[in-house]
Amino acid sequence: MKKYNVCIVGAGAVGKEMIRLLRKRNFPAESIVILARSAREERIDGETYQVKETTAEAFDGMDFAFFAGTEGAKGASQTWGWIAAEKGCVVIDNGDDFRMDDRVPLVIPEINPEALKDHKGLIANPNCSTIIALMALGPLHKAFGIKHVVASTYQAVSGSGAGAIRELEEQARAWTAGVEMKAEAYPYPIAFNVLAQIGGAQDGHPSEELKMGRETHKILADDSIRVSCTCVRVPVFNSHSEALHVSFEKPVTPEAAREVLEKADGVELADDIDNAVFPMPMDANGKEEVLVGRIRKDQGFDNGLSLFVAGDNLWKGAALNAIQIAEKLIEMNG
């Protein structure tokens, strides 16, 4: 089997998960190099990695470059993405800088792998909440045709990076000790609270909510789908959950939807309300599949369904999806 030289740009929460998943999935890597703003050592699962400074020359001889910035982390792919691509390296970017760029495919391998054909060297990972929603909605759209989605997300703090994870831990300890909870990662404490804004305001909407609609249109290649979205940060360490209310062009029943989703790659049904089985972030954490359940008729739509999903935002919502893009390219190129 051919082996590939791989680099990961960024050693934060997503970058560390990329290292773990490359090893877990036995990715055919000849070498794995970590790049960051400055050279240093990083310990990941008991192993020491030498982190190198990111320079143009660092991409020489690389086959894949995974840019591992979390949401809102700007700069790395803007500075180095096209430089790496021009050196013959396939860039897979987890950030949002190029998602809506017409030159750049926006890909979930199970949903729109055809978008990888004729790529120009840079491929974008969708937003974590978009990926987790579309793992369920993509197969249903193909079967029944989606007209309108109303999505409410419950997003874990790991989507904001390692600092937010530490802050939730520290605030929980402070609350237990009866001392002031300090907020730095967010404008207010997140422990025992929910924050109904993710991202800066754009035209009166938080940016995270706008991403869901724009990215859904691009990935499903259908601008007619109406998307209404409310994104909420919740005091969960990892894994996002989402309530989805969907209207379809064709008649659909919960039974027909389950039949479609049972066959969908990357989806695991957790749908037995009589026995209190439903998707939970605790169960989605560390799982490659997105959990889908609470499938029922939606009372507010004709041809409507309601469902609930949960997925690991650092894995399928970020690092795993990026690695699967590389795996799909290897498969397509024989």
- Buried-state track 113-143, b at ≥16 Cβ within 10 A, e below 16: bebbeebebbbbbbbbbbbbbbbbbbbbbeb
Tell me what pLDDT residue 218 has.
98
Per-residue pLDDT tens over the stretch 121-146: 999 999 999 999 999 999 999 999 99
Assess whether 7 carries a catalytic annotation: no
CA 162 vs CA 58, 173, 239: distances in Å: 25, 17, 14
Q: Single out the catalytic residue among 119, 141, 240, 245.
A: 240
Superfamily of domain 4-125+318-332: NAD(P)-binding Rossmann-like Domain (3.40.50.720)
CB of 305 closer than 8 Å to CB of 246: yes
Q: Which residues contact 148 (CB under 8 A, 6 or more apart)?
A: 225, 226, 227, 228, 246, 247, 301
Whether the predicted pLDDT of 72 surpasses 70: no
Tell me what pLDDT residue 322 has.
97
In this structure, whether the domain defined by 130-313 belongs to CATH 3.30.360.10 is answered with yes
First vs last Cα of the chain: how many Å apart? 10
Backbone angles phi, psi at 208, to 5 degrees: -60, -35
CATH 3.30.360.10 region(s) of the chain? Answer: 130-313
Mutual angle of helices 254-262 and 128-144, in 10-degree steps: 110
Q: Single out the catalytic residue among 7, 128, 229, 231.
A: 128
- Buried-state track 258-277, b at ≥16 Cβ within 10 A, e below 16: bebbeebebbbbbbeeeeee
Tell me what pLDDT residue 70 has.
56
The Cβ of residue 302 has, within 10 Å, a number of other Cβ atoms equal to 9
CATH 3.40.50.720 region(s) of the chain? Answer: 4-125+318-332
Let me know if 90 is exposed, middle or buried by CB neighbors in 10 A (0-12, 13-18, 19+): buried
pTM: 0.95
Percent of the chain that is helix, strand, coil (3-state, to 5) = 35, 25, 40
Assess whether 128 carries a catalytic annotation: yes
Q: What is the mean pLDDT of residues 214-237?
A: 98
